A and B are shown apart, each in its own frame.
Chain A
Amino acid sequence: MKRIRISRCGAQLMGAQAPRRPICPHAAQRQDVAPHHHRIQLRWASSLMAAARKPNEIEIDPAEEAAEESSIDLSEALTASSTAKPPQPPPETLPSPHPSRALKSAKLAALRSRLSLPPRFPLQTLARTLVHPSADPNPHFNNGSMSILGANLLGYYTTEHLLCNYPRLPMSVVFAAQYAYIGPKALATIASEWGIEAAAEPGGEVDPGLLQFKRARSGDEDFPSALKEVKAPWKWNVTTTHKIVSSDEFGSTKARPDPQQLTGQPVPIEEAAQSFVRALIGSLYLHLGSPLVKRFYRDHFLSRHLDLNKLFDFRTPTRDLSRLCAREGFEAPVARLISETGRLSRHPVFVVGVYSGKDKLGEGSGSSLDEARIRAAAAALKGWYLYKPLEVTVPSSLEGEVDTSKWKPNMVDCGEVIV
């Protein structure tokens, strides 16, 4: 039988394959790239085996050295054996995967391309953003610092978007809208939409593309106290204005735990996912710069729809509206019945409009006259508070910009009406 000639093998017919990954500039120092010279290869292999036996010593056999002909080979061999690092400890002993494993993770590469991030964003940083401080306490290996920066960026961009587009929004609604856009639950939802899966237990052997954190089991006694409700000791009534300087961007009443405080403590998955999304924003800013982060924010956060008019909760809209008209110099509001039906039946409908002089400020319908009047006043107040200018330039659009011709000063409203 004739032997098949090598030229008919399929692999050779395919042509030269492009390298899957760009050549790493640090390849010479990496353990898994073998040096090309055969003598160094032998020595490298033997030094590796020796190092495996004794992790802290690298044997250089003087008998082998003497057998060498050239001094150049000797110096090459010496440098090769000295730069060959001691082999890494077994992955199970590490708290999180070694950074070098990030380059081999399919999940990380897929995540990077799914988020349309440019290839110059390192996979090692992406791997680091997935490690919560509860999994790995070393600040150089977890996402604590990056999540602080990311939280600041998200807060800034969301605040300027809300205040420029809705200049009259009351403060409590601003807090609620911030929570809806970038709060813990929203970020956890976004993380799951991006396809982030969590590792069952953190460790060095898990896939670097999984979210790693120490899980809090349900019914656990040792829930971190930092995440529990903190009862205010003597300040039982913190005003909205005071929350602006003392609390976080959502005006929350309980103290926000510091990421580094949570080292080693079990956390819920929501906390870890929130930390990941923030850390991702922070790392994008550091590696890729603010224009790209703004585009990312616009694509992933501002594209989410939020019904601001559902965030309002009026207690006495009629009184608020009356004070608002007095403040602005309008005529006092008067409620007038526009139309009605079924007054004596079981389901009447009254349509009431609130008028200031001849202008109708708002209209509402209800099954009683009072209900309709209150709904009309609430609609009038929403019409005032939800005013939106047509064209808006946000402050961050001028950062790093030389051309300031497109800048349009934003409207600054004096504040919501205080009764």
Chain B
Amino acid sequence: MASKRPIRTLFSVASTSVRPSRSIARSCPETSTCAFSTSTASFGPEYETEAAERPRWQQTPVRMVAPFRIRPQPKGPAFKVNEDPRRLDEAYVKMLGPNGDKLLSEEVKWLAITHKSFDHGRRGFNDRLAFLGRRIVSLQTSLALLNSSTPSFLGTGAQQDGYGRAAFQHAALSGLAGLTTEAKDDVLSRSRLAPIAERYGLDKVTRWKPKRADNLQGSGQESVLSTSLYAIIGALALERGGEVANKVTQDKILSPLGFTFA
């Protein structure tokens, strides 16, 4: 194989110049699952077997990377994605408070802001976290709408009811008139959540791949930022519990949208 080696390295150098943001690590990524394999992973002679352990968020798995790119590069400028852990921590501190960067584990911190479009989903993505986060935010919004109904809603409605009926009164049911789907859709629309995410600097750290780097709005940045925001809430719920997630939802998402909590 000695004759093939120079050609292989030539290709690898060429490919690195074409893709400056991709670092081709020649080491075996040791994940926690490798520990359960009874046979040692064997690689061909072209790979250097270093024992360096790179976390999943930092590099795309070695065996999933093709030696060279066949498809043409997309049109438009290249989109630069954040790789600095410190900038990510700053964004978390901005959103979650002074110890915000310590609330989640390192892998989950990166996973929560990684969209499925990044690296073709090879480094993980925040779909499930966003799903859970959206359920939590939706529920907290409903409860906030219930508790924030003005006293005028407390009226029996007998005057508005054409039949002269008086509704059954109970303290627990007092806020129900404020809870409608229109109200919720207004509160939780993507066009209102995306600016909140931008305020916390999530648009600088979210890892995704826009269709056009010069037209992020048209590439769906609002949707991606909303997903990141929901995913952070979901990650907090799974790692820290529902109480923390509810509190963060109320303080960091619903309060900027205009709700007040006791």
Q: Could you list which residues of chain A lie within 8 angstroms of chain B, going by C-beta atoms?
A: 86, 88-89, 93-95, 98-99, 102, 122, 124-125, 128, 138-141, 144-146, 148-149, 152-153, 155-156, 159-160, 163-164, 169, 171, 174, 239-242, 244-246, 249, 258-261, 283, 286-287, 323, 326-331, 356-359, 393-401, 404, 407, 409-410, 412-415, 417-418
Q: List 16 interface pairs A-B (beta carbons < 8 Å), by A numbering.
A: A145-B180, A148-B180, A149-B146, A163-B238, A174-B131, A245-B134, A246-B190, A286-B146, A286-B173, A326-B61, A357-B38, A357-B41, A395-B136, A395-B242, A396-B242, A418-B120
Residues from chain B with Cβ under 8 Å of A410 in the complex:
238-239
Contact of B241 among A95, A283, A356, A407 (CB under 8 A): A407
Residues from chain B with Cβ under 8 Å of A395 in the complex:
136, 237-238, 241-242, 245
B205 near A: Cβ within 8 Å? no
The answer to whether B238 touches A414, judged by C-beta atoms less than 8 angstroms apart, is no
The answer to whether B41 touches A330, judged by C-beta atoms less than 8 angstroms apart, is yes
A152 to B135, CA, bound (A): 7
A359 to B39, CA, bound (A): 7
The answer to whether A140 touches B167, judged by C-beta atoms less than 8 angstroms apart, is yes
Contact of B139 among A153, A164, A171, A417 (CB under 8 A): A153
Give the residue name and chain of the B residue nearest to A323 (CB). Answer: B64
The answer to whether B122 touches A327, judged by C-beta atoms less than 8 angstroms apart, is yes
The answer to whether A141 touches B167, judged by C-beta atoms less than 8 angstroms apart, is yes
Residues from chain A with Cβ under 8 Å of B182 in the complex:
258
Q: Could you list which residues of chain B lie within 8 angstroms of chain A, going by C-beta atoms?
A: 28-31, 33-34, 37-42, 56, 61, 63-64, 107-108, 111, 115-116, 120-132, 134-136, 138-139, 142-143, 146, 156-157, 160-161, 163-168, 170, 172-173, 176-177, 179-182, 184, 190, 220, 223, 226-227, 230, 235, 237-246
Residues from chain A with Cβ under 8 Å of B126 in the complex:
415
Give the residue name and chain of the A residue nearest to B60 (CB). Answer: A327
The answer to whether B33 touches A287, judged by C-beta atoms less than 8 angstroms apart, is no
A415 to B115, CA, bound (A): 11
The 5 A-B pairs with the shortest beta carbon distances in the complex, nearest first, are A414-B124, A357-B39, A398-B241, A418-B121, A395-B242
Contacts A152-B142, A395-B238, A414-B123 given: A330-B34 contact, CB under 8 Å? Answer: yes
A320 to B145, CA, bound (A): 44
Residues from chain A with Cβ under 8 Å of B227 in the complex:
241, 244-245
The answer to whether B125 touches A415, judged by C-beta atoms less than 8 angstroms apart, is yes
The answer to whether A249 touches B135, judged by C-beta atoms less than 8 angstroms apart, is yes
B146 to chain A, nearest CB (A): 7
A95 to B165, CA, bound (A): 11
Contact of B115 among A144, A145, A241 (CB under 8 A): A241
A98 to B166, CA, bound (A): 9
Residues from chain B with Cβ under 8 Å of A357 in the complex:
37-41
The answer to whether A414 touches B125, judged by C-beta atoms less than 8 angstroms apart, is yes
For A88, A140, A258, A404, the residue with the greatest tally of chain B CB atoms inside 10 Å of its CB is A140
Contact of A128 among B30, B63, B168, B190 (CB under 8 A): B168
Contact of A149 among B116, B177, B179 (CB under 8 A): B179
Residues from chain A with Cβ under 8 Å of B107 in the complex:
412, 414
A93 to B163, CA, bound (A): 8
Contacts A241-B116, A395-B238, A399-B243 given: A329-B41 contact, CB under 8 Å? Answer: yes
Residues from chain A with Cβ under 8 Å of B128 in the complex:
163, 169, 171, 174, 412-413, 415
For B115, B142, B170, the residue with the greatest tally of chain A CB atoms inside 10 Å of its CB is B142
Residues from chain B with Cβ under 8 Å of A393 in the complex:
241
A283 to B173, CA, bound (A): 8
Residues from chain B with Cβ under 8 Å of A287 in the complex:
170, 172
The answer to whether A98 touches B165, judged by C-beta atoms less than 8 angstroms apart, is yes
The answer to whether B131 touches A329, judged by C-beta atoms less than 8 angstroms apart, is no
A393 to B42, CA, bound (A): 38
A245 to B194, CA, bound (A): 12
Beyond known contacts A99-B165, A99-B168, A398-B241: 17 more, CB 8 A cutoff: A86-B164, A93-B163, A124-B170, A140-B167, A155-B138, A244-B230, A287-B170, A326-B63, A329-B28, A329-B41, A330-B41, A331-B41, A357-B38, A395-B238, A409-B238, A414-B111, A418-B116
Give the residue name and chain of the A residue nearest to B63 (CB). Answer: A326
A350 to B15, CA, bound (A): 44
A88 to B166, CA, bound (A): 10
Residues from chain B with Cβ under 8 Å of A261 in the complex:
181
A94 to B226, CA, bound (A): 45
For B40, B125, B156, B220, the residue with the greatest tally of chain A CB atoms inside 10 Å of its CB is B125
Residues from chain B with Cβ under 8 Å of A244 in the complex:
127, 130-131, 134, 227, 230
Residues from chain A with Cβ under 8 Å of B34 in the complex:
328-330
A149 to B169, CA, bound (A): 19
B231 to chain A, nearest CB (A): 9
